Structure 1
Amino acid sequence: MNGTTPLRLGTRRSKLAMAQSGQVAEAVRRLTGRPVELVEITTYGDVSREHLAQIGGTGVFVSALRDALLAGEVDFAVHSLKDLPTAQPDDLVLAAVPRREDPRDVLIARDGLTFEELPAGARIGTGSPRRMAQLNAWARTLGKEIETVPVRGNVDTRLGFVTDGELDAVVLAAAGLTRLGRIDVATEFLSPDTVLPAPGQGALAIECAASAAPLAAVLAELDDPHTRAAVTAERSLLAALEAGCSAPVGALADFLGDEQDVPEMRLRGVVGTTDGSTLVQLSTTGPVPASHHDALALGRELAAEMLDKGAAGLMGERAH
């Protein structure tokens, strides 16, 4: 690798994608001493005005970046991990999964309200069937009705629905707002005990061509083993449920113990109907996976339990 030739980092054009890719670019600059330039790529998910559930979700933000990698137009790419299809192509390598940002969802509501303070009939915007299922289920436990409203658009567009009074609240990922320096707009962090995030939420994926072994070895230094083990288990659950990233599936693997001593990993999963009337929610706890295979097995085992409890009938839109 020539030390002065810039490395080309492929990224989506959105403000959030540019922010998180810029952070990775800076880390790679420090690691390699080489300049890194961002190459903006428009994906199908960026230009389609349909809701993700309608266009299938899986890979719509990823395919164009992967095409650019394979064509040699960029050297590596940064994705939001939750956007990646669960099957990894043989000609590409997931070189690094850096330390994860906060995986939780947050509520941004008018007048600084929390979810429980929202009035009956409150209109809450989200494009995610997963969030709809869990928010509606939560509202049912509180004995109140809410209306979940499908929305699309970037962070500013979604926040605008609340400030303009069109919606009472929207739900977004904490990680995205944090990377944009906007987390102060959140009125409530939603506990995973109530709303499980999307598999891989809050994590980034750094991908390069499998043929670029020297680059992959360098990028691997940005990998965080705990984050990789967690998201591997979450995505294994998603794959075993045969669900795409637009399906109403939530999953979170976290570690029980302190930073120095992490003896166990807990994996939680949920599948539900979008009206919240039925949820299948289970968890399992075991030793921290010692290998990629162990993390995959943990996800598959929990998925099998969820399928036994009727999860398959709740997912509606299945991946093809």
Structure 2
Amino acid sequence: MTLRIGTRRSTLATTQSGHVAAALTEKLGVPTTLVEITTDGDRSQAAGTSLVGAPSTGVFVSALRDALLAGEVDVAVHSLKDLPTYPTEGITLAAIPPREDPRDVIVARDGLTLGELPPGSKVGTGSPRRVAQIEALGLGVELLGLRGNVDTRIGRVREGVLDAVVLARAGLARLGRLDDVTEVLDPLQVLPAPGQGALAVECRSDDTATLAALAVLDDPATRAAIHAERTVMAVLEGGCAAPIGALADLAEGDDGPELWLRAVVLTADGGLSVRRSAAAPLGADPAGWPAAGTALGEALAAEMLADGAAELLATPESTSHPSARSAEVHNA
């Protein structure tokens, strides 16, 4: 039986799904085929004349899930940071493979780093999280809304329309585009989105054969880190558009493996923030690591709420800011 793997049509999405297909073939000898699903978001990006804002990532996720539930595909592959934090009936997150480097990167003109860009330089990003954290650095750059695929975004720098763009390193790594990167941002400056760099491999909950097959792709360390990061976001009730960053790393402690979690919540202008970190032991059995990650995320989020994180997210500035105004940039 051939496993049908549903994917968006973008180059990055098909590349990511291709990695999953290759891993299944390598580990299990399972034949696979990619089934491209066109979403409303893809059509909007292909035909849209503006790079302002971005379609909700939920549009991309729901189309693949609809195809999965309809039996059109057996597996769906997503960028994990796009997934809602709440479960969907009939669908199981069957595997989280080892993730790529989750950090953000700069692609800038003339090989410049973010700190080397002159004040007033135009920097493109569609992420309120990135906007808030870069604003907090006080560099004086002008942050402009941006959408489109990787080639489109980098192209705005090559064309001289923008001085730099901010992207996820993982996507560029999977596309073989790391040579375009002029700086990898230190998480001490800009924490990535919860789940950034990881893939989510889903299937129908009642498809026991596919569930068992996909289990070979799951990485307990990555799943533990993802559980920690996404639990912070869920407890804070922040969606993918909220200015929340989180990153969990596995480390070797005195008594065995530990998970170290950092998180930040900001107002959109970066003027106010709540930033916390915590660590917890994972235990000897990797099967229990995801639960430990969840518990750590809950504990850290509770500390952040006690420090006023909810109030920051509730401010009008948490959803809009003039520095992230729409860019007068168009697809030609």
TM-score for the superposition, normalised by structure 1: 0.91
In structure 2, relative to structure 1, the CA distance for the partners of 1:236 and 1:52 (3 Å cut) is farther
DSSP-derived class of the 1:82 partner: helix
Matched, 1:167 2:167: no
Residue of structure 2 equivalent to 1:128 = 127
Separation in 1 of the partners of 2:223 and 2:53? Answer: 27
Residue of structure 1 equivalent to 2:301 = 303
Residue of structure 2 equivalent to 1:157 = 152
DSSP-derived class of the 2:262 partner: strand
Question: Alignment partner for residue 41 of structure 1, among 24, 28, 37?
Answer: 37
Identity of aligned residues (%): 59
Q: Within 5 A, what are the aligned runs for 1:7-156?
A: 7-48=3-44, 57=56, 59-138=58-137, 140=138, 144-156=139-151
DSSP-derived class of the 1:170 partner: strand
User: Where does structure 1 lack aligned partners over 5 or more consecutive residues?
Assistant: none
Question: Alignment partner for residue 228 of structure 1, among 220, 223, 229?
Answer: 223
Task: Give, as a single letter, the amino acid of the residue that structure 2 aligns with 1:266.
Answer: W
In structure 2, relative to structure 1, the CA distance for the partners of 1:297 and 1:213 (3 Å cut) is same
DSSP-derived class of the 2:116 partner: coil
Separation in 2 of the partners of 1:292 and 1:178? Answer: 26
In structure 2, relative to structure 1, the CA distance for the partners of 1:253 and 1:53 (3 Å cut) is farther
Q: How many residue pairs align between the two structures?
A: 307
DSSP-derived class of the 2:299 partner: helix
DSSP-derived class of the 1:98 partner: coil
Judge conservation of contact 1:249–1:272 (CA < 8 Å) in 2: yes
Task: Give, as a single letter, the amino acid of the residue that structure 2 aligns with 1:298.
Answer: L
Separation in 2 of the partners of 1:287 and 1:17? Answer: 34
Residue of structure 2 equivalent to 1:218 = 213
Judge conservation of contact 2:54–2:146 (CA < 8 Å) in 1: no
Question: Alignment partner for residue 270 of structure 1, among 264, 267, 271?
Answer: 264
Q: Within 5 A, what are the aligned runs for 1:173-184?
A: 173-184=168-179
1:52 CA displacement: 9.2
1:262 CA displacement: 5.4
In structure 2, relative to structure 1, the CA distance for the partners of 1:230 and 1:180 (3 Å cut) is same
1:58 CA displacement: 5.3
1:263 CA displacement: 2.3
Task: Give, as a single letter, the amino acid of the residue that structure 1 aligns with 2:200.
Answer: A
Judge conservation of contact 1:134–1:276 (CA < 8 Å) in 2: yes
1:291 CA displacement: 4.1
Task: Give, as a single letter, the amino acid of the residue that structure 1 aligns with 2:17.
Answer: S
DSSP-derived class of the 1:31 partner: helix
Task: Give, as a single letter, the amino acid of the residue that structure 1 aligns with 2:116.
Answer: E
1:61 CA displacement: 1.7
Write out per-residue CA displacement over residues 272-311 of structure 1, whole angstroms, 9 at most, x where no aligned residue.
1222211211111111263433221211111111122221
TM-score for the superposition, normalised by structure 2: 0.88
In structure 2, relative to structure 1, the CA distance for the partners of 1:262 and 1:187 (3 Å cut) is farther
